Structure 1
C-alpha cells in the first residue's frame, strides 16, 4: 500500500537533485532511515509518512511529485512488490522516462519483482549488506549525468504545460533556449533515460515556431522596405512635380516681367520722342534688373536688351547738369529758378528747399505744416511774375499749390 506525502525533509536548494522515494508503509522504518541519510548527503527527498486511501486527489499530488523528481528510488521488498500503489508509481515513472534506482531492502522472489524493475541494476541494502556502501551507491547513481537529468525534468514539465494548454505557441521555447534544448537532445548520455515523445515534439515545434517568426519578421522587413521605397518614390515624384510647378510659375513670372520691361522700354521711347528725357531715363531704368534694389522682383527681373538700348539713347539726350536731392524723396515737388538764375526753389506741401543752381547743393530749407503758410511766404508771393517754371509737375498738384495759369499771367 502507499502512504501520504510530505515535502522534503530538508529544504532543498536549486542545485540539489530531487529524489522521490517509493515504498510500502510496512517498510516505513527502513524508508525513514534511508531518506534521512540521503537528505544529509544533500539530496531533496520526497517520501510517504501516513496511511491514506488512494483517492483521485492523492494521485494528482503524487503524480506531481513524481514529475518534479529527477530520480525515483524504489525500496524493493515483498510488501512494495505486492503494493498496487507502488506499482502505479513505478509505472508512471517509467512512462515519464524517469531514472529509476531500485534498492533491495528485503529479498524478493524473482517472479514477484515488477517487470519494469527486473531489467535494472539493483542496489542491495538488506540487513546483511553494508549500509554505508549502499548509500554511496545510491548517491553515485543519483549524481550520474545529473545536469542532463535535471534538464530532462525541466523540459518534461515545460512540454506537459504546453500540451495541456492546447499547444499554445507562447509557451514554446525561444531564442537560445531552443539551441540549448536541441543540444541536450543530441547529447543524451548512453545510460540516461530516454527522451519522451512530448519532449521531442516540444523541442521540434519550438524550432518550427522560431523559423516561422523569422520568416514573418523577414517578410515584414521586406514589406517595410517596399513601403519605404514606395513612399520615397512618391516623395521624389512630388518633389519633382513641385519643382516643375515652381519652374512653370517662375517662367510665367519672367514672361510677365519681360512683357512689362518691353512696355516700359516703349514708354521710354515715347517719352524721349516728346523730349522728356528724364521720364525716358526713369522708364528705361525701371525696365532693367537692379541687384541693389530692396524689391525682390526688381532684383530678379529678366534682362531685356530693348530696355538697355532705350536707356542708352535717353542718356545720350540728357540735358540736366545736376540732380537735386529733395529731402522728402516720396514727395512730388515743384521747382523754380530765381530771376538771376543762381538759385532754385523746390517745394511741396510740407517744406521748401533752396538749392545752388551751379552746384546743386542745398542752401536752405523751410519746413511748414500746411499749404496756407507756404503761400504766405514773401519769396513765394513773387513767383507769379518773377520765376520761370522749369520743372514738369502734375497739373492737380500745381493747382493745389495755388500756382496761377500761365495763360492768365
Structure 2
C-alpha cells in the first residue's frame, strides 16, 4: 500500500516532480505513473491497482487534466471505491463544465504559482494525516476485497478471527460515525461474506468436535465391552475400524432417513457432515471406499435441497416478529420473552435489547438505519442504538398493548397501532403528532384493536385489525377510504414494492386463513386475487412481499411458510421445519433469504429461491426438455403439460410461460433473448424478447407434431422438423405465412434438426433410418446410412468436420462431413 496516488496531466510534470519530492521528504510514499508502471505491464490495470492501494487520491487540477479522458477515468475509478480525494489547483483557466462532480464536492488546495507552496503543503499534509488509522484500514480492506473478487471469491482469501472482528468493528464505526471516506459496497460484501464463512466454519468445527466426542464415547464403550468379555487385552486397530465403519454407516442411514422425512431443514445435512468428519480419519478407515460412495450422494442431495440456512435460538419464548434492515446487514427480532435481539446478517454476535416489562410485539429500523424502535405490551415505545443501548422511551404511549409500528419513507415520522383501537403518529424524536381520526371520530368507535399498520412508498398509511376492516390514510393522517377486508380479524398487512408496477398492491391476511391482494387506484380498493394455502383452512398471522415483487410469503397456525408467485397466485413452495405457529415472515432486500419466526422460540433463515423446489411446483408433469442459451446465461425447462420456465445460470428464477394449448415437444434458446417452442399440434411459439408477447403460427400440418426445433447460430433463423417428413427454415423477424426454405426427402417423421456452427449447413435425423446433410438453401448434399433403424439425433462436431448420430439401435456413429465416410462406432448403451 502507498500513502498517495497522484493523478495529473503530462503538462504538469515539473510541478508534480516538486510535489513528489516534498512528499518523499515528509516520509510519504507517492504512486506516480512515471516510476511505478513496468514497461511490460498492462497499463490501465496497473493504474487501477495503484489507485486502490493508495490511502489518498490527489488530483492536480489544470486545464489539461480537467479535459483529459485518462484523468477522468482515474477520478471515476477512485470515486467508485470511495477513496479519500484531495484536489489541488496548480493552474487555472479551465472550463467548469468539464469538471468531474467528485472533484467539485471537495475543498481545493491551491498550489498556483502565486501561492505559498510551504503553507499549502502543510495543509496537504494535515489532510493526508486526518484520521489516518481509519483511512489505512479502508485501503487495506479494499485491496483485500479486490484481490478476493479477482480470485473468483476464494474462501481462503476472506478475513478470519481477530482480523474479521476488527474489520466488523471498523465497519460499524464507519457507519455510526459517518466517517470519510465512506465505505464501499466492496467493503461491506467482503466483510459480510467473511462473517458468513467464518460462522459456517465454526459450526463445522463444532459438528466435528461433536462427532469426535461420539467416537471417543464409542471407543470407551467398546473398550469396556472387550475388557468384560476377555478379562484383559488391548483394543485392536481392526476393532477401531469396525466401530468407525458402523458409526459412519449409521450416520449416513440417519441422514437419508432425515432427508426423506423433511428435505428442507438442516438435520439431514448435519448428520451427513458428521459422517464426513469421521470419514476423514483415513488411518482408521483405510480401504473403506464403499462408505465414500454412499456418503457423497447423501452430501450432494442434502446440500442442494436443504433450504434452511441457519437457525437462531437465543429467544426463550415465542418470536413474534422479524424485520430486516434496508441494507440487509442486520435483523431485529421481537419476542414474548420481553426482549428484542439485534443480529448481524450471519446470525452472529446477537445483541439483546432489554428493558421492556412485557411482550415485545414488533421492532423496526429507522429510515436512516441507525436506530431500532420497539413496541410492547407494556404500552411503551423504546429507542435503541445498534450497539444495544437504550436511548429513549415513551411511557404510556397507548392505553393498552401496542401491536405494530412502521416508518414513513417520506418524512421523519412513524406510526404505532394498539389494542386500545388507536393509531398514532410520532416524530423520530418521540414527540406525538396526532391520533388518526375517521370522519372526525376516533377509531375506537369500532371498539376493536388495530393489529397492523404499514406505510407505502408514497407515505400513505394502511391500518387493519379485529373488525376485519382496512383503512387507507394519506400522509397527513386523513382517512381516504375504508372497506371490509375479511370476515375475521386481520392480523397483518404488507404493501408491494413501489417499483413493481404503477398500480401498487396491498396484501392482507386474517384468521379466516386467506391472503387477499388489493389494487389501490385513486384511493379505491379492488380485490384482485385471493390466495388460500393448501390443506385445511386455518389462521394466518404474517405476510410479506419479496423486494422484486415476484413472491408473496405467508405463515400462520399450521407451522408452515407458504410462498406464491405474485403474478398469478400459483402456490410454488411450502417451507416446513418450525414446530409451532408462524408469527412473522420477511424477505432479505437481495431476495436470497426468507426469514421466519415462530412460537417454537426460533428464527429460521431459508435459502430462496430453490430452483428444484419451484420447478417441481411450476411443472405439474414430467420435465423432459431442456435448452441452454449459446452464451450460457439462461436455461429453459419444458413440461409436457405446456409450461416453460426460464432460469439464469445461477439457478435464479426468471419467468414462466404457461397456458400453451398443446404439449411441448421441442424448444431452443438464442443468445439474443429469443425463445422458440414447438408443439404437438404443429404450432410454434416465438418469443423475440422476454417477457414480450409471443407470436404463434402454424408451422406444419395440425396432424403433424413438430419433433425438433433449432436456432441458427446468429439467431436470425430457426428450423422446425416434423412428423410430416419436412424440415422448414423460418426468419425470426417474420412474416410466417411461408417458410424461407423447405427441406424435403425423408420418408417419415424427422426427429432432430441441427445447424452447423457457421449456419450454412443443417443435419437431420429421421424415422427412415437416414441422417441427411443439407445446405441452408434446402439442397440435400448427402445421406449417411446406419443400421437401417430409426435415427433419433444428429449434430455437428465443434469444427463442423464430423457428424455424430444415434438411433434406435443405441449405437453412436461418427461420420466425415466431406465424404460421408463412417469413421467410428460408439457402443456400450443397452
- Alignment TM class, shorter chain as reference: 0.5 to 0.7
2:153: which partner in 1? 167
1:88: which partner in 2? 73
1:63 to 30, 41, 48: 48
2:172: which partner in 1? 186
1:47 to 32, 42, 51: 32
> SS state of the match for residue 120, structure 1?
coil
CA distance in structure 2 between the partners assigned to 1:213 and 1:229 by the alignment: 24
Give CA deviations for 1:173-209 in whole Å, capped at 9, x if unaligned. 1111110111111122544112121221111111121
* Superposition pairs of residues 167-316 of structure 1, within 5 angstroms: 167-188=153-174, 190-243=178-231
Gaps of 5+ in 1: 1-13, 245-409
Q: Which has the higher helix share?
A: 1
Greater relative contact order structure (CA < 8 Å, 6+ sep): 1
Larger radius of gyration: 1
CA distance in structure 2 between the partners assigned to 1:207 and 1:178 by the alignment: 7
Verify: 1:98 aligned to 2:61, yes or no: no
> SS state of the match for residue 128, structure 1?
coil
> SS state of the match for residue 60, structure 2?
strand
Q: Which has the higher strand share?
A: 2
CA distance in structure 2 between the partners assigned to 1:57 and 1:213 by the alignment: 38
Conservation of the 8 A alpha-carbon contact between 1:28 and 1:49: no
Could you say if the C-alpha distance between residues 59 and 231 of structure 1 is closer, same or farther in structure 2, counting changes exceeding 3 Å? same
Conservation of the 8 A alpha-carbon contact between 2:57 and 2:78: yes
Could you say if the C-alpha distance between residues 190 and 140 of structure 1 is closer, same or farther in structure 2, counting changes exceeding 3 Å? farther
CA distance in structure 1 between the partners assigned to 2:187 and 2:139 by the alignment: 10
Conservation of the 8 A alpha-carbon contact between 1:66 and 1:72: yes
CA distance in structure 1 between the partners assigned to 2:65 and 2:144 by the alignment: 31
How many residues in Structure 1 have an aligned counterpart in Structure 2? 227
2:22: which partner in 1? 37
Could you say if the C-alpha distance between residues 58 and 151 of structure 1 is closer, same or farther in structure 2, counting changes exceeding 3 Å? same
2:659: which partner in 1? none
2:134: which partner in 1? 148
CA distance in structure 2 between the partners assigned to 1:25 and 1:178 by the alignment: 42
Give CA deviations for 1:143-173 in whole Å, capped at 9, x if unaligned. 1111111111111111111112221111111
Could you say if the C-alpha distance between residues 177 and 48 of structure 1 is closer, same or farther in structure 2, counting changes exceeding 3 Å? closer
CA distance in structure 1 between the partners assigned to 2:135 and 2:125 by the alignment: 14
> SS state of the match for residue 30, structure 2?
strand
CA distance in structure 1 between the partners assigned to 2:227 and 2:70 by the alignment: 82
1:96 is displaced (CA, Å) by: 1.4
1:73 to 42, 58, 83: 58
* Superposition pairs of residues 353-392 of structure 1, within 5 angstroms: none
1:302: which partner in 2? none
TM-score under structure 1 length normalisation: 0.52
CA distance in structure 2 between the partners assigned to 1:220 and 1:141 by the alignment: 51
1:243 is displaced (CA, Å) by: 4.7
CA distance in structure 1 between the partners assigned to 2:218 and 2:40 by the alignment: 68
Give CA deviations for 1:363-385 in whole Å, capped at 9, x if unaligned. xxxxxxxxxxxxxxxxxxxxxxx
1:120: which partner in 2? 106
Conservation of the 8 A alpha-carbon contact between 1:21 and 1:73: yes
* Superposition pairs of residues 318-397 of structure 1, within 5 angstroms: none
Could you say if the C-alpha distance between residues 153 and 168 of structure 1 is closer, same or farther in structure 2, counting changes exceeding 3 Å? same
Could you say if the C-alpha distance between residues 48 and 230 of structure 1 is closer, same or farther in structure 2, counting changes exceeding 3 Å? closer
> SS state of the match for residue 32, structure 2?
strand
Conservation of the 8 A alpha-carbon contact between 2:33 and 2:47: no
1:232 is displaced (CA, Å) by: 1.3
2:7: which partner in 1? 22
> SS state of the match for residue 21, structure 1?
strand
Conservation of the 8 A alpha-carbon contact between 1:185 and 1:195: yes
> SS state of the match for residue 86, structure 2?
strand
Aligned-pair Cα RMSD in Å: 2.4
1:230 is displaced (CA, Å) by: 1.9
CA distance in structure 1 between the partners assigned to 2:224 and 2:25 by the alignment: 77
> SS state of the match for residue 85, structure 2?
strand
1:111 is displaced (CA, Å) by: 2.6
